[in-house]
Each structure stands twice: as C-alpha cells, then as structure tokens.
Amino acid sequence: MRLALASVNAFLLLLVTWSLSEAKQQLVLRKIARAKSSSQHQYILADGSAHTASSAAVQAAHELHMSQIPNSHALGHTKVHQMPPSPAAHNEKKSKMPHAPPTRSAAQRAAVSCIKTTEDACGDPDYTPPTPNPSTPLDQLPDARPPAKQRRFVSALVEAEIKRLDALITDPALNRIWKNAYPNTLDTTVGWTDLQLDITDHTKAFPRSYIITGDIEASWFRDSTNQLVTYLPLLQNPPQGYKAGDKEWTKLYRLALGLVYQQSQFVITDPYANAFGPPANANIAHQKNSAVSDPNSNGGADWFYPSAPDNAGYYTPKPTASQRNVTGNDGVYLWESKWEVDSLVNFLHLPIALYNATGRRDFVNNPTWQRAVRLAVDTLRSQQRSSLEDHEANRAAPNVAHPPGLVTRADGKQGEWQKRYGALGGGAYRFQRDTRSSTETKQDAGFGEPASRVGLVKSAFRPSDDSTTLPFLIPANAYLAVSLQGIAHVLRGVDSMQDVACNVAAFATEIRDAISAHAVVPKKAIAGVHDAGDVYAYEVDGYGSTYLMDDANVPSLLSLPLLGYVAADDATYQRTRRMVFSSKTNKWFFDGPVGSGIGSPHVGFYYAWPMSRAVQILTTADKTEQKDALQFLRSTTAGTGLIHESQNIHDPADFTRPWFSWVNGLTGQALQHVGQTNPDLLAQMY
C-alpha cells in the first residue's frame, strides 16, 4: 500500500510539474513539501485571513494539477432524449443531445477524485439515474438514491423529514417519488463544499457550496437557489430530535450560507452571466458548454458585451491565469453569459429565504457579499434604460468620461459597475450566438427588441435560457420587486449598506407601479376558460406591445403567488391562471393521452413540464387541482422514479433531462404542501 501511494504521489507530481516553468515548479514542490510535513490545509475567512484544517500531499498535488489542465469534455444545457427523437429534429435544442449524458470511465473519475477527510463534498459528481422503462408498474418504481456512502451531502434533518412524510403517503408510486425526489439535490448535485465547521462563529466563517444542476456540471443562479430553498424550512422548524444550533442544523445552514457566498463570487465574476463553472478548489473537471462554438473555429463563438474581466467576450475552456486573480472569485469561470433578470433575483432571494427561515443575518457585513449586492443592484438598475439610452451610451463610450444613463451612487462616487462597464459600450448588454434557433440569440446586433424606459428591467433571456420576444419579462420583474423589498428588510440597521437599502426600496416600488401600468391588460371573455377582465401579460416593451403566454420555468405567471408577488385568490391572477392552463389561450399548454401541463419553447411542441404541475399544487389549496396534478406527476417518471424536465404528452418513453435536480426538489415541496393543505390526498391510492 505504501509503495502504491508513493507511486501515486510521484505520478501526480510529474503531472503537475511537466509543463510549468522552473520557478513555478519550485513553488509546487514547496507546497507539496509543506503538505507532506503537516496535516493542514488553508481556508479563507470572511476577513481575508488564513485558517488551517486537515489535508494531504496528494490533494495538494492534485489541486495544482487540475488548475493547469484544459476541459476534459463538454456537455450543454440542452434537452436529453432517453429514446430516439420522433420523426424529425425540428428543434435545434432537441438535436444537440439525442442521448443521455456520457458516463465517465474509472480512469476519468479517478482523475478528478479527492481524498475526503471531512464532511465536505469533493471530487467530480458521478450519478447515473435508473434506466428508463415505462412499462415498470407504478407500484414497483425503483429506489433512485445512490448508496449511502456515495451521497454527496448527508443531512439528518432531511432524512428525518423523508421518514415523516413516508409514513403519510399511502400510494406506492408517490411514496417512492417522494423518497427519491426530495433528497435528490443533496444526494447527487452538491459538487463541492467548504463548510468550515471548525469555525464556530458564523459571522467569521466563509463557507462555500458549489451546486450543479444535475446532468450538467455547471451551476445556475436560478437552479442552485431553488435546489437549496427546498430544505430551508427544516432550519426554521427542525424535525423532532434536532434543534437550531446543533451540529446537524449547522451543517445544513452552512451549506446554504456557502451558496450565498459562492453566488457572490459568481456575481463578481460577471453580473450579466447566468451560469458558471466551479471554483479552482472544487476538484471538478472543467467542461466547456457544448452550445457555445469554439472561439478558434470558423463558426465563431458567443459574442457578448460588456465582457467579463480578462475575458475576450467568449468562453474559454478553463479560467485564464489572469481571471484567477480577479478579487474574490477563486477561479470561477463563465459557463454562459445570458442576461436573465431572474439570475440576479435568485442571488438576492437566497439570503432573504435563509434569513426568513433562521432569523440570522451572518452574511450582511461580509465584504464579498456586500460587493456582490452593490454590483447586482447597479447591473439591474442599468437595465432600466431604454434601448435609445443604450444605443446613445454605446455610441458615446469610451470617448466621454460618463456616457449617458450610467448608474451613480447617492454620494456621487463611481460604483464598481460604473468603473467596470462605463467605458465598455456604456454597459449596454448585447449577445449573439451562431445558431439555427432564434431563441438562442438576439436581434439588432445583439441589443434585442427595443424597449422604452418605464421603470421595468429588461431581460434578454428567460428562465428557460431562451431569448425574450419583448424585452420586459413580467414574471421576472415581479420576482425582482419582491426580492428588492426583502433585501431592504434584511439590510435594516446595517450602516454600511443603508444607501443600498434605500435604493432597493425605491426600486421595488418603481417596478410594481410599472407592472400595474404596463403589464395588466384587458382580455375578452373566452368561453369555457375565463370571463372578461384584466390579466397579466408575460412580456411587454413599454411602447404598448404585449405578449400573452406562459412558460413552465419559474418565475412564471403561474408562480406569482409562490414568488410572493400577489395573493393566490387575487382576481387578476385567477383569470391569468385560467388563461395559462388552456390551449385556447396559451400556445405553450399541451394536453394529450399521457397528461397535460404548461410547456416551453425550450424543448418545443407536445412537451408538458412537470414543473408546471408542481407549481400548480404549490399555488392552490383546491383538492381537485392538487389530485389531478399528483396523478400526472406519478405517471411521468418513465419507470425511473424521478421527475424529469419535460414529458411528451403522446409518448411516455420520451422525456428530457434524466437528472434534473431542481424539479425533483420542487415536487418534494409540492407533496409537503399537499400534506399541509389536503393531507387526506396523501392517504389515498391512485
């Protein structure tokens, strides 16, 4: 064993040093020597000071090696077919990945392994969902959880909650789905953590958590926030046998706090981006987004502006050397730089949800978080500009010191957004991609459809990652208004952030007023659907144009009560709800022999998204609606016992994304909600 370990050490040392300069080789050797002589490794605290805990020489060599190698393989954030696509691949996204994600060989997995000496998650996540078999009887759905020793994060609080509801759910299919789906994020997608459990003071610790979306080893603001929000109620009301402040409570709390700080580093890297690769310390293999062309190929790459620091406006396979030196981002790299309002909203929402669940604000004085919040708010403010203002700012920069329409601080000083982006086309966002699909790029040289300044915030893309048709996405703006109000509340009494607190409180009011003025529109009565009256538009442009539809992805019009924007019994919302649940009034609602639900242009016609049915449950106490949605959810796993992104309403074997953690957690939340509102539904057989 000792000989084998020595060989591994020598091999890793060779891998690390072969391509480095002599000076860097000496640095590597010194770091490995230190690790050999000590069982310590370094943590970064909130104040920037160092802290030590256990580590090993092999780990030190491996980390340094991983920082030098290029991406090992690529996997795009696109639809995954378990069965061959039917008739024609009419949608470009469908044709990108007509198969399940590639599994790694043992050698590939070993290349990104780590020595696990603490309760932290480390190494490359490796999970294979059960093989689809739609003929599997619903009372025989498989256990889809990985073996206990292979679970990425184990929480006794979550396990206790699983047992609690397990005893209440009689139907075997729903029971198995509950036990598979609710813990799926913790079981499979906690890519890396640095919980710093040895630092007892939550205000001094700087934990970080990198949460992947599932079958793509990248992290989205939207997905990762919602993946962990699933478990936050357990911090507010710990299951029997646990209490706030004990070790198990602290583990789960630090996981969420770690994501708050990890997302702060994402914002600092690029506040316009929607998804990111892992930090340098995560020991997760670097990948390249397969939806993005190689910048060295004839096809070109994504072109986006303003570009991130040390980034040429396209995505590199791994962080450049200079990118690693961007203060606070720890080598995080861009996966995709689509400007989606809800990305930054989810960044703001997570600490609000954590505070609401625990009453703790350990993050409010953290300099990295404060910096990210300021940058996020200024970025959102910049997108209130009209298209004319954007074009004028782009035309003026960098020839004038202060292009028109820039964000300014109350004290008159330049904020970080202004310093970083003022000279870069005035901070006007633009995006173009070589593609056959109109939903993957923007018109007008990347500026998109024109917008008028009315108080709303422009969004180039939707939460589906598809481009908007009109620039003001109303569900995202509604979510933003709620989150800005929440941040104002969280920041009360924090002297260093009072200017931000005042800013966001006013900002929230501007957005609510603008939604009422421009996005509540009259609609004629539709027989069998809804009466005449006002409904919420999905998108508007401020000039009077409106777009009536809904997409399953949250934030959606359906989810407005879940977001906290409006009461579920509000008349305008109820009329909108009926509108989006009918194929007569929502072009993306589908009904077929397999089931029904709201879909998305992201995967095309005939695909209903289980997410829409889970949100339907979470936004009603109506027993009939909940029961119908449960019947759909239990029958759409294709024999895997897991919930998927979308389901072909004509073919039970045809679904997308076999490993999509967010919707599994959301389904778990839906079952909890049924238990609270109509517990007798859980006791029924279906």
Summarize pLDDT for 199-213 with one digit per residue, the tens. 999 999 999 999 999
Q: Is the dihedral of CA 152, 157, 159, 165 positive or negative?
A: negative
| CA gap 312, 327 in Å, rounded | 18
Supply 458's token pair: 């422009």
What mean pLDDT do residues 169-177 have? 99
Q: What is the average pLDDT value for the chain, to the nearest integer?
A: 83
State in Å, rounded, how far the first CA of the chain is from the last one.
55
Report H helices in 584-655. Answer: 610-618, 623-634
**Do 279 and 384 contact (CB within 8 A), yes or no?**
no
HSE at residue 216, side-chain half, CA atoms within 13 A, is 26
Write b or e for each residue in 81-116: b if 16 or more Cβ atoms lie within 10 A of its Cβ, otherwise e. bbbeeeeeeebbbbebbeebbeebeeebeebbbbee
The three-state secondary structure class of 534 is strand
pLDDT for residue 327: 44
> DSSP letters along 356-410, please?
HHH---TTTT-HHHHHHHHHHHHHHHHTTS-HHHHHHHHHHTTTSSS-TT----T
Q: Contact at 8 Å (CB) between 565 and 478?
A: yes
Strand 73-74 vs strand 287-288: parallel, antiparallel, or unpaired? parallel
pLDDT category of residue 476 using cuts at 50, 70 and 90: very high
* DSSP reduced 3-state for 218: coil
Q: What is the mean pLDDT of residues 597-614?
A: 98
What DSSP designation does 185 have? Answer: I
Is the omega angle on the peptide bond into residue 398 within 30 degrees of 0, that is, cis? yes
Element (H, E) at 667: helix 661-677
For residue 151 the two structure tokens come to 């679970």
Q: What are 599's two structure tokens? A: 């879909």
Non-local (6+) Cβ contacts of 399 within 8 A are none
Percent of the chain scoring above 90 in pLDDT: 65
Is pLDDT above 50 for 23?
A: no
Spatial distance between the Cα atoms of 516 and 572, rounded to a whole number of angstroms: 11
Question: Span 163-170, mean pLDDT?
Answer: 98
Helix, strand or coil for residue 501?
A: helix
pLDDT score of 219 more than 50: yes
Q: How many CB atoms lie within 10 A of CB 463?
A: 30
Q: Report pLDDT digits (tens) over 497-545.
A: 999 999 999 999 999 999 999 999 999 988 888 888 999 999 999 999 9
What is residue 119's predicted lDDT score, i.e. its pLDDT? 82
Give Cα separations from 614 to 205, 296, 408, 592, 686 (angstroms): 36, 43, 41, 18, 17
pLDDT score recorded for residue 401: 60
pLDDT score of 414 more than 50? yes
349-371 mean pLDDT: 97
Q: Using CA atoms, how far apart are residues 219 and 70, in angstroms rounded to an integer? A: 19
In this predicted structure, which of 42-46, 265-269, 487-491, 528-532 has the lowest mean pLDDT?
A: 42-46
pLDDT at residue 114 is higher than 70: no
Q: Write down the pLDDT at residue 87.
A: 32
Angle of helix 661-677 relative to helix 172-181, nearest 10 degrees? 130
Indicate the pTM of the whole model. Answer: 0.84
Based on DSSP, count helices (H) and strands (E) in the chain, helices before strands: 23, 21
Give the pLDDT confidence score for residue 529 in this predicted structure. 83
In the chain, % of residues over pLDDT 70: 77
Q: According to the model, what pLDDT value does residue 296 have?
A: 56
